[in-house]
Structure 1
Amino acid sequence: MSTPHHEKNIVTTDRVPKAIGPYSVGVTTGTLVFTAGQLPIDVATGKIVEGGIQAQTRQALINLQAVIEAAGSSLDQVIKTTVFLQDMGEFALMNEVYASFFTSNYPARSAVQVAALPLNAAVEIEAVALLP
């Protein structure tokens, strides 16, 4: 039995900050898009946005959306997200903003508290989405 061959394609976009290490912001293969964790970095300034967990969640999701769209998909095609929080006590505040980006047909989600995130961010979000 042979297995289908799928190419690995690197996603690039100038709508998000450049990767801060040896990784791609997104990769597609077959019918799937895999994103790297998106930090709440403003592409214009190259810095973490100010304003607390809600502002940071919004920016991380804007960046996530940009990567998914650059791959040829959209947020309504996201099947799984992982949210990394520096403080699980901020979950409800993060969730309010998250719910404004994912309004129906919700993806599966995991949320975990981590000891630290790059650039001392409060949140980082990654996703897997379908390519239409």
Structure 2
Amino acid sequence: MRKRLGWFVAGGLLVAALLAGVVSSFASSSPDGLDAAAREGCTFDADDNITGGTCMAQQEQDHQMKDSPLADYGIKGIDNEYLSTGLSGILGVAVTFAIGGGVFWLVRRRGNHDEHENDGDRAASGATSA
């Protein structure tokens, strides 16, 4: 049973890594629905800078992590846009899997610990299991 679960997890991880590493390079660079709604009411020049009008995008500010190594869906220092985006996607999958796996491991371990405590309580009270 464990071997089948391992193959299932490995397969899912491979599919997620392929999607994040390869398919993400083909994502549209056009604004999504939220960006499009925030830009309504403004006018833009050829370089996509706001030149007039009134819209939510005028209040836009850089986020606090703008200079981090993984800002803007890429890895800073890698000049190839497709490679940078793909590697950052794969890194994101790996980090998410590691955090999720760690949480599941802790929860499972905690559950085993609680079961052993209950077994000890039964033994101390003289109860027998059927």
Tell me the TM-score normalised to structure 2 length.
0.23
Structure that is richer in helix per residue: 2
Structure that is richer in strand per residue: 1
